[in-house]
Amino acid sequence: MTTVEPTRSSVTGGALADAAAEVASALRDPAVVMDPATVGAARPFRHSFSRSLIRRAASAEWRLVDRHVALDDEGQGEVRYVIEAEGHTLSFVGFTIVTEEGGHTDRVIGTDWEITAALVDGPLDDELLATLRSEVPKQERGRLDPRVLTLTRGNRSVRFFDAVADRLAAGRQPDPELVADTRYLMRSTAFYGNGKYGMRSFDGLDAEHPVGAPYRAQMLCGWCYRELSFDVVEHVARVRGGDAAARLDDGWDRFFGLGNATGMGLVPFAFKHPAIVDAWASVREVGLARVRARRPDPDEVAVVRAWLLRACEHFATGTDRDCAPFHSPAQLVGITDTLLRFVDDEFADGITDGCWDRLLAMADSIDVEMRELLVAALGEIDRTTDAEVDEWLRVDESSVATPETVAELRARIAERFGWLDGVALDDTYWWLLTDNNEEPRRAPHDRLDADNRELVIDVALRVRRLRDTLESWDAAAAVAEVLVAHPEHRLAVDRLAGPAHRYGEPRDNACSADYLPLQLQRFQLAMYGMDDYRPKSTDWLRVALFQGAPRLADLGTPDRLTDDWMLPARPGTGPTEGNPL
């Protein structure tokens, strides 16, 4: 998923640092949080970007004011949604075609997409629509203007779109067994923003704008894209089945999410932006620390238990296919059930101090995935506000304070990279951009010369080499002298400049033979709100976004636009009739 651009260097404050300081004694150690196993067990939680978007839409009373669906018999054409949000008009425009099955690809270099779409800040006049119709289907080859916030594209699911359309055409709901292992009708492959191709940059959005928080525009675009998938499949069903066709009923009309395929592009972003990684991890960890620092009331215990029950039901209707190195849903059923028993045992005699700490330690002694499931569940009783989190996520990456002496530099290495000796520090792989598509890839040193195409993310190796060099230098020597003698250490010194970030460094070596990109990818995808992790290799996986989420029609309907939508159980076990179109 190419959703890695938004930063805002001009807005900050010490709000996140202050919040962390208030609960410092309850914060988890970076050695735990940034360990590859923990990073690779991350789960969506209350402040994941998809959840916070829908809460903002609910609390600020956004409204869907126009829905325009103009499609031919095959579902080709144009779909538009217009949302009124806090005095702003936000418009989504999607263009749909049908391609041959062999033309589908999840790769960024694809040129034929069945769905292309854009999110616009403002109303859609005829001139703008004409431009969008011309340029949006071109994707990277197109040129847009600053009214456009986000650009996306993707394809129908080859396996599931037509199968669901045919079932609806026959007046029946989807076959639950067929859709058990992949829970979407369409897939996306990228959400571009932040000034690409002439669009509005993130810094061009005021912090008070409805989508002024990092990734909110991309999330809204994704939510609308998912809505498009429902509108198109029901339109195709109506064409195929006529009066006999059915709509997706109240169980199914929220179940399907938006699929996504994510590859190597996320990894360089995480290694290059320690302040952002720290903020993302800190949002979860400060919330967890706040929960651990107080005794829960019975209602909060009930919320955690209900979340775990919901998770167990969700996993029980998932796949038993191998999802290694992650647990499959079938495996997670047993893990979640065991965790529920731990919770029941802990509170059998009432609530006592340290209850969550005991449960976290018990889960940790069995399985890291069990522990992180509990962390996600505890996030449901975190009282951190969305306004706080929005402020924490506006990260300042501009602060620089280079150490002046070797002694100061050694101290920073010891403080921030004391973990180096605990990881494999072999230099097996290059990370580079390929010639034909500029996608990140890794290749063994002995098989390919990087030749000015290297992506410099070998942080652990560079800091280790700097540390080794400093062993022969006097502690009082100036860092400038070291760099004159060893200019190859410039990037390592730059990494050590500026403030320390508690959770800013993934504790791994991306160039090691044993490095597993999937783990860091999962950490980022969980922050987006993506789940249902399906690795397709060591380097890329498929996921689902907004599965179970409200629909755009729920805007303005408080009893339907609720925050309890994640982890839906698969509806029904057989054909059902009714719910006519």
DSSP 3-state assignment of 303? Answer: helix
Amino acid residing at 160: F
Is the pLDDT confidence value at 3 over 60? no
CA-angle at 527, arms to 196 and 281, nearest 5°:
110
In whole angstroms, give the CA distance from residue 374 to residue 305. 10
Q: Could you give the strand order of the β-sheet that contains 184-192, starting from the edge strand earlier in sequence?
A: 63-71, 77-85, 88-96, 115-121, 148-156, 184-192, 257-262, 541-545, 531-535
Residue with tokens 């403002």: 122
| Stretch 330-348: mean pLDDT | 96
Specify the DSSP element, H or E, that contains 149: strand 148-156
Radius of gyration of the chain (CA): 24
Mean residue pLDDT across the chain: 92
**How high is the pLDDT of residue 250?**
80
pLDDT band at 329 (very low <50, low <70, confident <90, very high): very high
**How high is the pLDDT of residue 578?**
37
**Residue 390 and residue 207 in contact, taking contact as beta carbons nearer than 8 Å:** yes
**How high is the pLDDT of residue 34?**
98
Least confident interval from 45-54, 55-64, 528-537: 528-537
Specify the DSSP element, H or E, that contains 410: helix 406-416
Question: Nearest to residue 456, comparing CAs of 496, 482, 420, 495?
Answer: 495
In whole angstroms, give the CA distance from residue 43 to residue 107. 25
Provide the 10 A C-beta neighbour count for residue 20.
19
The pair of three-digit structure tokens given for residue 348, joined into one six-digit string: 């059998």
**How high is the pLDDT of residue 106?**
56
Amino acid residing at 452: N
- Each residue's pLDDT tens digit, 401-446: 889 999 999 999 999 999 999 999 999 999 988 877 678 888 898 8
**How high is the pLDDT of residue 251?**
85
Specify the DSSP element, H or E, that contains 17: helix 15-22
**How high is the pLDDT of residue 392?**
96
Is the pLDDT confidence value at 279 over 70? yes
pLDDT band at 9 (very low <50, low <70, confident <90, very high): very low
In whole angstroms, give the CA distance from residue 528 to residue 160. 24
DSSP string, 219-280: HHHHHHHHHHHHHHHHHHHHHHHGGG-B---TTHHHH-EEEEEE-TTHHHHHHH-HHHHHHH
Least confident interval from 13-17, 119-123, 411-415, 563-567: 13-17
Percent of the chain with pLDDT over 70: 94
Q: Where are the domains of the chain?
A: 406-496
Question: Nearest to residue 134, comparing CAs of 126, 142, 123?
Answer: 142
Amino acid residing at 34: M
Distance, C-alpha 345 to centroid of its chain? 34
| Stretch 531-558: mean pLDDT | 93
The pair of three-digit structure tokens given for residue 349, joined into one six-digit string: 């005699």
The pair of three-digit structure tokens given for residue 425, joined into one six-digit string: 């520090």
Task: Please state the φ and ψ torsions of residue 82, each to the nearest 5 degrees.
Answer: -120, 125
**How high is the pLDDT of residue 102?**
61
**Residue 489 and residue 510 in contact, taking contact as beta carbons nearer than 8 Å:** no
**Residue 225 and residue 115 in contact, taking contact as beta carbons nearer than 8 Å:** yes
Is the pLDDT confidence value at 381 over 50? yes
pLDDT band at 16 (very low <50, low <70, confident <90, very high): very high
**Residue 109 and residue 85 in contact, taking contact as beta carbons nearer than 8 Å:** no
Is the pLDDT confidence value at 205 over 70? yes
| Stretch 571-581: mean pLDDT | 48
Question: Nearest to residue 475, comparing CAs of 410, 562, 530?
Answer: 410
Distance, C-alpha 384 to centroid of its chain? 20
- Each residue's pLDDT tens digit, 149-178: 999 999 999 889 999 999 999 999 999 888
